[in-house]
Amino acid sequence: MATAEIDPLLFLRQAIAAGTSVVPTATDAADAPETPLPQARFLQFAGAAGDRTPVPVDAPTRFVSNDAPVDLRSIYFAWLNREVAIHEYNAAATRLNEELATVSSPATVHKFAFVERLDLITWLEGASEESEYIKAAGGPGATGAAGSAAGAKTASGAAAPLSRSGRGALIDPRLAVIYSGERRTGDHNTVLRGIKPTDFSHVRKLAVPFMSKKQHGGAGAVVPALDGKKPSASLPLNPKGGPARRPDPIILLSPSASSLLRMSNIKSFLENGRYTPSDSSSTATMHFLTHTMKDIDPARPLRFILVEGTEHFKPDYWNRVVAVFTTGQAWQFKSYKWNTPAELFKHVQGIYVGWRGEPVPQGVKDWGHRVLNCHIDKWTDPGVPGADVNRFRDREVAENIWRAIEHNMRQKGWKRDSGAAII
């Protein structure tokens, strides 16, 4: 198969879903032995019939970072290191770049930002059908997710399922051939403005003086909007030219060993309303969960990202932080954008979770009403009779936490199609 007919990103996702092997090799020969990634020039995708499809490791993919396509080697390396912490992944990428330099290769491995890496892994493992970093195959109007070749084979040897838009449900390649002969019809937006919605707010501002003179005989008068409301200075501009995408809110956890809710048990507590002890052997550095905020978007659940550290935060990530779990220790906030409790909890909802019957730490008391105090019943071994008597109250605590987060998000201006308007 010609390299131009192959979608490397889709090939890798299909190989992961099918459980087939992906072998780095130095040549594109079908019997080439496996070689370490620094010396590899191809990734060979095994098919169901025992054949292999080679793809160059430096082939560009549809994943775009900083307006540049990311190569297949970087995508594959990020998948291999999906379970490690972000700082360990960056260290491994640095070592691989050094090894590439020793073999006189000009290539380097792209280091993904925190949210980019999360989005990529989520898409590759099939947990999400869309990503803001992955371009539609073939551009707007493309008929196949694997390119224009309708009969391209996947890593498993079967015909590649294609997508009309590059996202969403995959379709049979024979249907893609039929769709390619369709006569495209458009609505008034596509007829007047083309395939990309265009922002014309600048025209409105230019027209205001002329309309004022015509209606009121002088300059400086404000033209009311058609609905009688005061006109805004400009319409919201989407720089990508497409529909606005609501950002995923972020919840920060306390890295303290004394915290009752850690990465190993926070997801089950917030999703199921039941506390279990944290597992100190857990190496997870991030989770994502969905929860419906009825006063923000009752029809579509919000996806929340849960993390402990902020080492690799970009400045705009702080606009998405909606809650911070704390144990009352101020050292937790040293690396934060707002590194004092008084300043932090002006912007973000604070949450403290402690044992029922035990005193609240003095630090939490001093921070006032901006930190929600929650108490759960002490953990008892399930083998002890009556251990689950009071565990039903965990759900009430979890619901109180979600109500506080939702209240804070509404105050900050979160809406069903946009993030915070007030930081």
Q: Report the candidate in 372, 369, 373 with the shortest Cα–Cα distance to residue 355.
A: 373
Look up residue 111 and give its amino acid.
K
Q: Quick one: pLDDT band at residue 231, thresholds 50, 70, 90?
A: very low
Confidence bin at 288 (pLDDT 50/70/90): confident
Which residues of the chain are in CATH 3.40.50.11990 domains? 250-411
- What does the pLDDT average to over 236-263? 75
What DSSP string describes 259-325?
Answer: -SS-TTTHHHHHHH-------TT----EEEEEE--TTT-TTSPEEEEEES--TT--GGGGGGEEEEE
Which has more pLDDT, 80 or 226?
A: 80
pLDDT tops 70 at residue 416: yes
pLDDT in tens, 14-34: 888 888 889 999 998 888 899
Most confident of 49-53, 199-203, 326-330, 415-419: 326-330
Q: What local confidence, expressed as pLDDT, does residue 219 receive? A: 42
SS3 112: coil
Indicate the pTM of the whole model: 0.47
pLDDT tens profile 179-199? 667 666 666 655 565 555 566
Residue 107: the pLDDT is 86
Inform me whether the pLDDT recorded for 62 exceeds 80. yes
The residues near 168 (Cβ < 8 Å, ≥ 6 apart) are 129, 130
CATH hierarchy code of domain 250-411: 3.40.50.11990
pLDDT in tens, 125-149: 887 777 888 988 765 433 333 333 3
Q: Which pLDDT does position 83 carry in this prediction?
A: 86
Q: What's the pLDDT at 236?
A: 40
Q: Is the dihedral of CA 98, 99, 102, 105 positive or negative?
A: negative
**Residues contacting 270, CB < 8 A, separation 6+:** 289, 291, 398, 401, 402
Nearest to 44 by CA among 86, 78, 11, 84: 11
pLDDT per residue over 350-379, tens digit each? 999 999 989 999 989 888 888 999 999 888
Structure-token match 């009309």, residue found:
164
For the chain, what is the radius of gyration of the CA atoms? Answer: 26
User: What is d(CA 104, CA 344) in angstroms, rounded to the nearest whole number?
Assistant: 48
* Count of beta carbons in the 10 Å neighbourhood of residue 328: 21
